[in-house]
Each structure stands twice: as structure tokens, then as C-alpha cells.
Amino acid sequence: MLTVYFMRKITVNMLSIADSVKGQGVETAYNELIALLKKYGKDDLEIVTNKGLNYDVLHMHTVNVASYIKQRLSRGVALTYVHFLPDTLVGALRIPEVFMKIYAWWVRRCYLKSDYLVVVNPDYKDEMVRMGFDGDKVFYIPNYVSEENFFVLPDEKKQEYREKYGYDKDDFIVVSIGQLHRGKGVLDFIELAKQNPDIQFLWIGGFNFGKYIEGYKKIRKVYDDPPANLRFTGVIDRNEVNILCNISDVFFLPSYYESFALVALEASLTDKPVILRDLETFKKIYFDNVLYGRNNEEFINYIRRLKDDPDFYLQQEEKSRKIRESYSDEIIYEKWISLYRTITANRQQSH
């Protein structure tokens, strides 16, 4: 595929309503990408958000009606970021089946009408091809987290924050991040907390979609009256998420499905060993740099080994640093600028 280096800046109109629901992954990925492109693309790109039609690239992040119409009416390149597939909402939201089918049709339509797609998971490319999209126009670019937002705090700061949040120096803290719904594995997290009172469990995140999420009543009951060793923070600012990851010892996400698990990347930037459910999705993103468990027994075995075996803990800590190296800001920026240059050059050649 031909790549042409523009003499002028490429104009990109970012289309998104992700910030309408705080504390969810698409919003985080969207904000991180814009910050990255503005940081490194000062000479190459002009980035605007939710503007008009006269731009080289109409880059859609959320499949809402206004963004879709702008893509259809613009002469620019229609690029859509595939953050999720329609079936990934199963287990997350309690939506009547008929509405779920309508929404799934709408998502597929938005994807198939785009000129190009960017997927956050390499497996999604095959899914797009199965939907009928040209595989040569699907690109994999992973999510990104800035080390300005997630980083390792000095030991004295960690202890200071531990005291602030009511934890003792010797407490072993297991942290997770995500919306509070059944698909995230919250109920497994709760069960492990109940079975292991000598370990502190901390869940960062809230009921982003209120009572419409799956498992709301059951999770809410524990949320309102948790065991002594389990805490829920609700939706909080990302700077506080970084602090809580720093004062914790292990990051553990028992989610049953994810497109990328951006939160695992966030935690790895604080050098935390990462435990994830054994999903093929994760293995193509995090490879052997995290621990994979199939059930609660395997999860707690890993947690206790990390708690009791210093050498094993240091090994996993080092693996988290390897994740950071794989998803550095400069590497991800080069992927994006190369894509923008390529697709805009192709559009010029076809007109």
C-alpha cells in the first residue's frame, strides 16, 4: 500500500460521544489517543472534535447517529475505530432482545459503511471480514495509555496514600478496575474477597448505566454492605486510579470478555503484576507477560503465590514492565500517522 508524506497537515475530525458516560473504556481510549496525536503530531496533524464535514479524515469512535451522518456527507475518508463488537454487550446491559438486535444491526451498518476500520484487537479483523468488510482496509492498532497519567509513585508516597485510604503497611491489596456488571467478573471478585478475609480487595468503578446493567441487584447488595476486606470506590478521576493502583500489590481482572482490557495496561504502568482470565483475546495483546487463570481456584493460587513468594512477585513485576515497552507512545503514534497518511493519499489518488 502506498504511503505519501503530505506537505501540509492532515486534518482529522474526531467524532465521539464517549464522554456522555463517564468511567468507561471507550472514553479513556478516545481521550488518550487525542492527547497522543496532539503531543507528537504538531507538525503533521490538525485535530478537531465533533466539528463539520470539511476534513481529510472523519474518525468515528462511537457509533452514534450524528457521527454516522457526518461520515456519509463528508468528502473526507470515513475511518471508524472498532472498540467493540455487538455481541460484547451480552452480559453487560439488560436490554430487551429486540432492541439488542436493532442495535447490533446499527453497529454493523456503521462499520460496513466506513472506508476503513481500525480494530483494537487482532481477532476483530477476522470478525470484520466475516461481516463482509474488505480485510485489506482493516488495520490493527492497539490502545495506548500515557505514562504521564499512569506511573510508579515513590515508596514514601505510596505509604502516605496507604495511610490516607486506611490501609496498613503490611496489607496485601488486590485491585480491579471496571464497570460493575456481571460480565466483568465482579461476582467472582466478591466471592474471592469473602473466602480470603486476610487479603484486601479493592474494586474501582461504578454502575455506569445504572439499573440497566446485568446483575445490578445482586452486585448492589454487596456494594452497599461489603465484607470488611472489600471496598468499592465508584467512578473516580484517573489520577486517583493511578494512586490506588500504586498502593495495591496486584491487579486482577476476572472479566469474561474484553476487546483490549485497557485497565490492565494502566496497571502495568505502575509495575503491578497482572492476573487476567484465560481468554484468547488477552494472549494476543499481553502474550505471556501476565498470569492467566481459568477459575477462582487458579486466581487465588496466583494471588497467594504473589503474596508469599517474593521472587515470583519480582518476576511478574518485570513482565509488567515489558508490557510498557510494547505499547510505548512513539510506537503507537507512528502507527497512527502512517495510517492517516496512507488513507488520505489513497483518497486523493481515487479522485
How far, CA to CA in Å, does 344 sit from each of 21, 99, 243, 314, 326?
31, 36, 41, 46, 27
484468547: which residue's cell? 280
Q: What percentage of the chain has pLDDT greater than the value 90?
A: 78
Please report which confidence band the pLDDT of residue 6 belongs to, taking 50, 70 and 90 as the band edges. Answer: very low
Task: Say if domain 10-144+328-350 classifies as CATH 3.40.50.920.
Answer: no
Model pLDDT for residues 253-312, shown as the tens digit of each residue: 999 988 899 999 999 999 999 999 999 989 999 999 999 999 999 999 999 999 999 999
Q: What is the pLDDT of residue 325?
A: 86
- Residue 215, pLDDT > 90, answer no
- Residue 145, pLDDT > 60, answer yes
Task: Give the span between the Cα atoms of 93 and 176, in whole angstroms.
Answer: 20
Q: What is the pLDDT of residue 347?
A: 87
Domain ranges of the chain: 10-144+328-350, 155-326
pTM of the full predicted structure? 0.89
456503521: which residue's cell? 110
Q: Is 295 helix (H, G, I), strand (E, B) or coil?
A: coil
Sheet holding 200-204, edge to edge: 230-232, 200-204, 173-177, 250-253, 274-277, 291-293
Average pLDDT, the chain: 91
CATH of 155-326, one of 3.90.1150.10, 3.40.50.2000, 1.20.120.1770, 3.40.50.300: 3.40.50.2000
- Residue 89, pLDDT > 50, answer yes
Q: What is the pLDDT of residue 3?
A: 44
Please report which confidence band the pLDDT of residue 93 belongs to, taking 50, 70 and 90 as the band edges. Answer: low
Q: Decide: 275 and 261 in contact? Cβ < 8 Å.
A: no
Please report which confidence band the pLDDT of residue 92 belongs to, taking 50, 70 and 90 as the band edges. Answer: low
Average pLDDT over residues 176-201: 96
70 DSSP assignment: H
446499527: which residue's cell? 106
- Residue 91, pLDDT > 60, answer no
- Residue 1, pLDDT > 70, answer no
Task: Give the span between the Cα atoms of 51 and 32, in whole angstroms.
Answer: 19
Average pLDDT over residues 81-99: 72
